Amino acid sequence: FLYFPETHGISFRIQISVNELLDTDVLLKLLFHLPVNYPSTLPDISVNSDQLTRAQCMDVKDKLLEQAKKHLSEPMVHDLILWVQQHLKDVIKQSAAVCNEKTTSSKGTEDGIWMLLLHLDHMRAKAKYVKTVEKWASNLRLTGRLMFMGKIILILLQGDRSSIKEYLILQKTSKVDVDSSGKKCKEKMMSVLCETEVQSQHKRFQTFEIKEYSTLEELQKEFETAGLTTLFSEFVPPLFK
């Protein structure tokens, strides 16, 4: 259960198990962010599930938002949860049909702007590492932020999906840092927190910048300014636990 002060409304996670598909349970993780003026404003919803593809999760989310519009100005979270339990199967069937159409028509899914959020454990040779990340971002025409806050190091990138994929390969296979004895080494302590298509409510970063933040609030503001409040609340606070 996540709680934010009145200015941000509240966010909470709900896990539900839907027993409909091929007789297996699908565990859905739903994150609702209710703005201050909810329910006259729609909640932000994010959907995750290990049993579904990212595209299916996006479809479930889109359908939930469609339902939410029908309940505008009345409390709706409970109704939305009931709805998804009853209709998950139909959404996924539709999703599979659309998915097949997409793959047959050109490379459909590779288009669009994608976003990547990485967490690095440490940088021993910080200056060299930062230069390398800057160079890759520039070569691949990626925008975003390299963010330092205390011991936390995050890389947030936006750009073509193929460039994002290429960046990940570089980050994993190049000798970007040095080990404790000063020898060049590959990045082994990186985790991909999120890789997703940029939505209309996200703002595009125009440049790639390196920034240091002295408080978690400052870091949160950076995400909020970019329309990425949900991304922040889902992935960043757990890093400080």
Per-residue pLDDT tens digits for 89-138: 888 777 666 555 444 433 334 457 899 999 998 999 999 999 999 999 99
pTM over 0.75? The answer is: no
* pLDDT-derived band at 203, boundaries 50, 70, 90: confident
Q: What pLDDT was estimated at residue 219?
A: 94
Per-residue pLDDT tens digits for 17-32: 887 555 567 888 999 8
CA-CA-CA-CA torsion for 149, 32, 37, 204, nearest 10 degrees?
A: 50
Q: Reply yes or no on whether the pLDDT at 49 is more than 70.
A: yes
Q: How far apart (Å, rounded) are the C-alpha atoms in residues 38 and 74? A: 9
Q: How far apart (Å, rounded) are the C-alpha atoms in residues 163 and 159? A: 7
> Which CATH fold would you assign to the domain 113-240?
Alpha-Beta Plaits (3.30.70)
Q: What pLDDT was estimated at residue 108?
A: 39
Q: What pLDDT was estimated at residue 100?
A: 53
Parse the chain into domains and list their residue ranges: 10-97, 113-240
Q: What pLDDT was estimated at residue 5?
A: 52
What number does CATH give the domain 10-97?
A: 3.10.110.10
